[in-house]
Amino acid sequence: MRGILASSIGVTCAAALALPLAPPAVAGSARPAPTAEAATRAAVTNPSDVPGSTQSLPLRPLTHDRASGAAVLGLAPRAVRHFSLLGVVWDDPAARLHHSVQVRTRAAATGGWSAWQDVETHYSDHAADPGSAEADSGRVRGATAPLWVGESDGVEVRVRPEPGEPGDGPAAPSGLRLELVDPGDADTDADTGSDEEADDSAAAPPGDAVEGRTGPMTAEATAASAANAGLVRLGATEIPELDGERTRQELLTLRKGELTGEQQAKQYIGPRPAIVTRRGWGADESLRDKSFPYTGKVKAAFVHHTASGNNYTCAQAPSLIRGFYRYHVKSLGWRDIGYNFLVDKCGRIYEGRAGGVAKAVKGAHTMGFNSNTTGIAVIGSYGSKKPSSKAVKAVSRLTAWKLGLHGMNPGSKTYLTSGGGNLYGKGKKVRMNVISGHRDGFNTSCPGGKLYSKLKSVRSTAARYQGR
């Protein structure tokens, strides 16, 4: 997937920026648009502990592209309720958006407007397999990648035909609208100023310190936490790391009756890394489907980037993940967040799709190859920016453990059967690296060239962690 690039497209006159911006009503509401003052007052008086919300704003014709004559869709500058992540969705998940999407946002803290930013439009490859129950639910929509912009209260959008498209080229998909996601507040989401090589102390604190969640759990939250029984107590916010010996003992307990005599005599598995649970990053378990989807075993790991930009601090990572989760479920119509695991640039690992981190949970991350695999997304965009060494090490540690649970050698190859995609037809058996990049299974640039180039090192390091 192409990385999201921030670019300045032009200078808007200061007078225009000073104009009051009238926010629209939330999509689907029959009420007239409130004034900017009313919208600001509503945002201020909303309770700070809400689990999050989504504003859905239809995109309308603004003008015509001078080169092609095609309509330019979007939104004029306007005030909106606070949000931190955005994306564009449309009705038909099979339709392709042959347009560029650019946005600029107004920072809630300063009132200053950002430069224009490009939103990654190729996102359909992060999805459930064709013909699966999740893909055929009737709820799924087409979408761009999500873009993290930080807490904002104003937005402007323009959607234009891609360069080279004639005036009678592909029309924009129907039902085009902007999704503005408020991931909800959390104690650990404060800006610490940490960068990609920051110390672990700058990241969200582990264990029960994460958001201080000590209250009673809902039935859905209890089920999600119970899926990790055997690894950690019910309600835990982090699964602690283990040393090599304790990990091998745990493997014998978890896979008792499944291991061969040779595997029982010698276990090749990396030490279990610390993993922030869904309760740890603040998942609203009422959003997802109630059941957990499983697959046979984990034969391979696909590495992704979220293509959401790199302008975040490690302490904000839980907020980003809550945003991805809400965007995937409420805006795209998926059953849960698509990735099985996420890794921030400080190297902290997070549980993704519910069902248990040690189990073979079927995700929606690599269209055509979600069966018998796990999906790991490094938060950020890595087409032109190198991933941090801590993030790369975390992917190595996670794959050494996760693949070791299923007897897989990170440095070897395996056969996977395609569920259908743009590289391999349904039913095609494909020989792949046990640790592959998203682009190995689908014609996409994900996980970005800079991260993809690190996978050879990830394979050898993960194999070494397993004791091979």
Inform me whether the pLDDT recorded for 308 exceeds 60. Answer: yes
pLDDT grade for 168, boundaries at 50, 70 and 90: low
Q: Is 295 exposed, middle or buried (0-12, 13-18, 19+ CB in 10 A)?
A: middle
Average pLDDT of the chain? 85
Mean pLDDT within 249-265: 82
Token pair 């498209």 is found at 165
Nearest Cα neighbor of 144 from 27, 7, 307 is: 307
Residue 4: its pLDDT value, please? 38
Nearest to 89 by CA among 140, 132, 135: 140
> Considering only 43-52, 117-126, 279-288, 422-431, which range has the smallest mean pLDDT?
43-52
How many helices and strands, by DSSP H and E, does the chain display? 10, 17
Mean pLDDT is lowest, of 274-283, 414-423, 428-437, for: 414-423
> 27 by DSSP, 3-state: which?
coil
Segments in 240-375 forming alpha helices (H): 244-254, 261-265, 278-281, 317-326
Residues whose CB is less than 8 angstroms from the CB of residue 315 and which lie 6 or more positions away in sequence, other chains included: 188, 189, 190, 191, 192, 194, 202, 203, 204
CA 364 to chain centre: 11
pTM of the model: 0.85
> Tens of pLDDT along 31-75?
343 333 333 333 333 333 437 999 999 999 998 877 667 789 999
Return all residues near 7 (Cβ < 8 A) that are at least 6 apart: 115, 116, 117, 118
pLDDT digits (tens, 9 = 90+) for 200-228: 444 544 433 344 455 689 999 999 999 99
Express the helix, strand and coil content of the chain in percent, nearest 5 each: 20, 20, 55
Residues 265-280 pLDDT 10s: 788 999 999 999 999 9
Which residue has better confidence, 162 or 59? 59
Check whether 330 has a pLDDT greater than 60.
yes
Q: With a cut of 80, say whether residue 190 has pLDDT above it.
A: no
